[in-house]
Amino acid sequence: MSKPKVATDWLAGCAGCHMSFLDIDERIVNLIELVDLRSSPITDLKEPDPSGVDVGILEGGINNTANEEVAHKMRKRCKILVALGDCAVFGGVPAMRNFFKIEDALRRAYVETESTDAEGKIPNDPELAKPTRVRAVSEVVKVDVFVPGCPPSADIIYYVLSELAQGRIPVLKDERLQWH
Amino acid sequence: MATVTPQKITIEPVTRIEGHAKITIRLNEAGKVERAYLHINEFRGFEKFCEGRMAFEMPVITPRICGICPVSHHLAAAKACDDLYGCPPPRPAQLLRELMHMGQVIQSHGMHFFELAGPDLLLGFDADPATRNVVGLIQANPNLALRAVRLRKFGQEIIHILGGRRVHPVFAVPGGVNKALTRSERDQILAGLDDAIETIQLGLKIFKDWAEANQEDINRFAVFSTGYFGMVKPGNTLELYDGQLRLIDANGQELEYFDGRDYLNYIAEHVEPWSYLKFPYYKKMGWPAGVYRVGPLGRLNVADRIATPLADAALKEFKALNNGKPVEQTLYYHYARLIEALYAAENVRALLDDPDILSTDILNTRQEIRGEGVGVIEAPRGTLFHHYWAKPNGQLERVNLIVATGHNNWAMSEAVDSVAKTYITGPEIREGLLNRVEAAVRAYDPCLSCSTHAVGQMPMVIEILDAQGQVQQTLTRLHE
């Protein structure tokens, strides 16, 4: 049997969950025996295989139109979707923006900030994604496995990945269910 | 994936960088590169949504700007709070914060060289994209890859020992830190130090060998003149935790030497409609004449010496590359990064040998609130500013952040444009050429999450557009 294919991506987060993944340290050698790491911010494949992957992992919430597209594509191309970390599970710290109007946040950043010069204006090129309300991944696509934590510890991530690699859905409860 | 049309190439996402970016390469009627753009494609809004929070929460909130260098934000926020609350930390607390910072510099620089940029250098720019990554590196050279994993672990463990966790530690508070270092913890860190230094020296040798074999590429790959900016201690000694700021011009002449608290007199930020990342510049020269570079290359160009012996010897060799003038080649960022990692590791020993390092005098509880505070630190990627204004009770009214990668925004855009024009010359566009365009960004080790505190991520697509703006070709990094 071929190794299960895993694809990962990051949305509105901080990359800390991917760093916590790298914090499995030497165990990465065991892990790559178990899984085939496909598209990911740490590889050069740009999107999940069109033929599909077994596991898709998303870090970060959804705060713009580009994140929506990435989430939909990942959902379409993976069998099991994992929301990794507090931002993906709940929206996390970036969701604090929902207490403000998006226009006010943009104006503060690109016009009002003390270091911005007099020509400051809100970027609006069509190449740029449009900001939206900040949402958990499950508000946009169906999620199969939720792994909270900011970030989840390396041990939890290793447990989740090795269970998935062996065809089991990881169960997070008791000491494995961490909220910090 | 990369999309290619007769007119535009889009590379999205840019990979092996931190955060979200895409590159668009516009082609003219003749099919030549007209201009290439680096778009930083995310906005988060920390400067707004931190309004109304208590200042003392900032060392916990702002690390969520970036999970690769959370310690930079943690410490810059704590330093801004020291200033705002009027509670300078006792010396042992300063040493412990600096120790945590060194852990971060080691892990961040080490990871970047071996795990992110390394695949380009060790496996080749033209290697199969399906294996041109850390997994491919493990398969090609397991011993080296494991050393790299151990080096990153060494830095992360310093952070863990001090702050309770590796990512988003909880350690620095206004006026000091919340935990002293024990003797056994100190010895635990010391036990891994020689191995870490050996790995960094091995990295330096790998880079130098690579540079010797690739001199031609180095000298035509995004070489341009700018000013340089970074922190120094007296004698223009390299400094990463606390010091004065120094700005030099392209010839190495000093333009400014100032206290970070006065940054608004010297630095302004320009906005372009095509990027969520702003473009800082030297105010007196204006935009875009006043552009400068930060991070490892910027810092080594503004420094004349390093306080630790091995790194100082390495700096002398580095300075000889351009006869003492600033080093301009973008690919030498990798070299400068390793020299800084060597300094950080040697500095770990100096800090652990300091008689004050085990002291429990770690918190100044006497506060004289000023209501405004600036915290500046050299994050792995460059100078980081946190500036807060608060009510007398410490509740924040305004927040301004200038993040390390932002200072290099102009340089990264210029590098992308320059490399695209150098390497994309014919009708046929190979993946390896596009990877070089990405590598131009990668050399700066951008942290786009940071830059778009304001922002959040950095993948990359290549689309090729024609003169009419129609998509002509899309290049993907898929295996097909």
CB neighbours of residue A33 within 10 Å: 9
Residue B74 has pLDDT above 80, yes or no: yes
> In which band, very low, low, confident or very high, does the pLDDT at B456 lie, cut at 50, 70 and 90?
very low
The answer to whether B117 and B446 have CB atoms below 8 angstroms apart is no
Asked if B51 and B59 count as a contact pair (C-beta separation under 8 A), the reply is: no
Residues 87-106 of B with CB under 8 A from A: none
- Domain-located, residue A29: yes
Mean per-residue pLDDT, B12-25: 81
Residue B108 has pLDDT above 80, yes or no: yes
Q: Is residue A101 part of a domain?
A: no
Give A2→chain B minimum CA distance, Å.
17
pLDDT-wise least confident of B36-50, B152-166, B279-293, B371-385: B36-50
Compute the nearest-CA separation of B405 from chain A (Å). 14
Do the Cβ atoms of A115 and B111 come within 8 Å?
no
Model confidence at A112, pLDDT cuts 50, 70, 90, reads very high
Contact B105, B112 (CB under 8 A): no
Looking at CA atoms only, how far is residue B255 from chain A in angstroms? 19
**What is the distance between the alpha carbons of residues A56 and B43, in angstroms, rounded to a whole number?**
24
Q: Are A134 and A12 in contact (CB under 8 A)?
A: yes
Searching chain A, which residue's CA lies closest to the CA of residue B61?
A93
pLDDT tens-digit readout, A148-170:
999 999 999 999 999 999 999 99
Which secondary-structure segment (H or E) carries A121?
Answer: none
pTM greater than 0.95 (yes/no):
no
Confidence tier at B449 by pLDDT (50, 70, 90): low
Look at A97 and B135 and tell me if their CB atoms are within 8 Å.
no
Give the pLDDT mean for B67-88: 97
Q: Which residues of A touch B104 (CB under 8 A)?
A: none
Residue A164 falls inside a structural domain: yes
pLDDT grade, residue B472 (50/70/90)? low
Q: Is residue A63 part of a domain?
A: yes
Q: Rounded distance, CA A13 to CA B242, Å?
A: 28
Out of B149, B274, B476, name the one closest to residue A26 (CB).
B149
Q: Does the CB of B133 have a partner CB in chain A at under 8 Å?
A: yes
| pLDDT at position B461 over 60 | no
- Substitution target in A8, A9, A14 with the highest count of B β-carbons within 10 Å is A14
**Contact check, Cβ <8 Å, B477/A39:** yes
User: What average pLDDT does the segment B110-133 reach?
Assistant: 88
On chain B, the residues whose CB falls within 8 A of the CB of A150 are 64, 168
Cα separation values, B366 from A24, B225, B369, Å:
41, 47, 10
The angle subtended at Cα B430 by Cα B425 and Cα B432, nearest 5°, is: 105
Report which of residues B294 and B476 the model is more confident about. B294
- A58 close to A71: Cβ distance less than 8 angstroms: yes
Q: B331: pLDDT confidence band, cut at 50, 70 and 90?
A: very high
In this predicted structure, what is the pLDDT of residue B474? 56
B418 within 8 A of B22, measured Cβ to Cβ: no
What is the model's pLDDT at position A104?
97
- Residue A36's region, left for phi above 0, alpha for psi from -120 to 50, else beta, is beta
If contacts are CB pairs under 8 Å, which of residues 376-415 in chain B contact chain A? 385, 387, 398, 400, 402
pLDDT of B305 above 90: yes
Contact B477, B470 (CB under 8 A): no
Which residue of A20, A40, A104 is in closest CB contact with B48?
A104
Task: Determine contact, residues B38/B437, Cβ cutoff 8 Å.
Answer: no
**Confidence class for position B198, pLDDT limits 50, 70, 90:** very high
Residue count (chain B): 480
- Bin B236: left if φ > 0, else alpha if -120 < ψ < 50, else beta: left
- pLDDT of B457 higher than 50: no
The tokens describing B157, both together, are 């463990």
More confident of the two residues B444 and B456: B444
Give the distance from residue B472's alpha carbon to the nearest chain A alpha carbon, in angstroms: 16
A57-70 mean pLDDT? 96
Q: What is the number of structural domains in chain A?
A: 1
Query: Quick one: pLDDT at residue B12?
Result: 85
Distance CA B263, CA B376 (A): 10
| d(CA A10, nearest CA chain B) in Å | 7
The pLDDT value given to residue B458: 35
Report cis status (omega within 30 of 0) of the bond before B288: yes
Closest residue in A to B480 (Cα) is: A49
At residue B129, φ and ψ (nearest 5 deg) are -60, -20
What is the model's pLDDT at position B460?
46
Nearest-Cα residue of chain B relative to residue A104? B48
- Chain B touched by A114 (CB under 8 Å): yes
Q: Which residue has the tokens 């929902």?
A: A98
Residue A147 to residue A172: CA distance in whole angstroms: 8
Tell me the average pLDDT across B235-264: 98
Half-sphere exposure of B66 toward its Cβ, with a 13 Å CA cutoff?
33
Rg (CA), chain B: 22
Window A:25-84, CB contacts with B under 8 Å = 25-26, 28-29, 32, 37, 39-47, 49-50, 60, 63-64, 66
A109 within some domain: no
Interval B128-132 mean pLDDT? 85
* Mean of the per-residue pLDDT values of chain A: 94
Classify residue A76: in a domain, yes or no. Answer: yes
- B148 vs B455: which has the higher pLDDT: B148
Longest dimension (CA), chain A: 62
- Tokens found for residue B382: 């460059």
Phi, psi of A131 (to 5 degrees): -65, 145
Q: Using the beta-carbon criterion (under 8 Å), do A44 and B458 form an inter-chain contact?
A: no
Q: What are the b/e assignments for B32-58, b being 16+ CB within 10 Å?
A: ebbebbbbbbbbbbbbbbbbebebbeb
Is B83's pLDDT higher than 90? yes
- Locate the chain B residue with the closest alpha carbon to A37: B135
Q: What is the pLDDT of residue B455?
A: 31
Helix (H) or strand (E) holding A62: strand A62-64
Best B17, B23, B49 residue to mutate vs chain A (most A CBs within 10 Å)? B49
Of all residues in chain B, the one with the smallest CA distance to A118 is: B270
Decide if A44 and B132 are in contact by the 8 Å CB cutoff.
yes
C-alpha A43/C-alpha A130 separation (Å) is 26
B352 residue type, one letter: L
Counting Cα atoms < 13 Å in the Cβ hemisphere of A166 gives 9
* Mean residue pLDDT across chain B: 91
User: pLDDT at position B469, please?
Assistant: 57
Residue B342 tokens, joined: 């060597």
User: For residues A95 and A86, is the Cβ–Cβ distance under 8 A?
Assistant: no
Angstrom distance (rounded) from CA B40 to CA B275 = 5
Per residue in A101-111, pLDDT (tens digit) is 999 999 999 99
Residue spans of beta strands (DSSP E) within B325-479: 372-379, 382-390, 396-402, 461-465, 471-474
Q: Is B110 at the interface with chain A, CB within 8 A? A: no
> CB atoms < 10 A from the CB of A17, how many?
28
Interface residue of A46, A74, A133, A137 to substitute, partner B, most B CBs within 10 Å? A46
Q: Do A109 and B454 touch (CB under 8 A)?
A: yes
Res. B149: pLDDT tops 80: yes
Nearest Cα residue to B11 out of B440, B476, B444: B476
Q: Give the domain CATH number at A73.
A: 3.40.50.700
B192 part of contact set with chain A, CB < 8 Å: no
Least confident of A28-42, B60-74, B311-325: A28-42
Contact residues, A window 115-174, toward B, CB-based 8 Å cutoff: 115-117, 119-125, 127-129, 131, 150-151, 153-154
A61 lies in which domain range? 5-95+132-170
In-domain check, residue A20 = yes
Closest residue of chain B to A124, computed from CA coordinates:
B273
- Residue with more model confidence, B455 or B17: B17
pLDDT of residue B263: 98
Average pLDDT of the residues in B453-462: 40
Closest CB from A10, A97, A154 relative to B44: A97
Is A126 within a domain?
Answer: no
Distance CA B181, CA B95 (A): 11
The residues near B478 (Cβ < 8 Å, ≥ 6 apart) are A39, A45, A46, A47, A49, A50, B1
- Above 70 in pLDDT, residue A72? yes
Residues of chain B numbered 461-480 and touching chain A (CB < 8 Å)? 461, 476-480
Judge residue A176's burial from the number of C-beta atoms within 10 Å of its C-beta, 0-12 exposed, 13-18 middle, 19 or more buried: middle
Q: Which residue shows structure tokens 């590796």?
A: B166
| Position B448 confidence tier, pLDDT thresholds 50, 70, 90 | low
pLDDT at B479 over 70: no
Of B396, B395, B398, B383, nearest in space to B450 by CA: B383
- Cα separation of A50 and A37, whole Å? 15
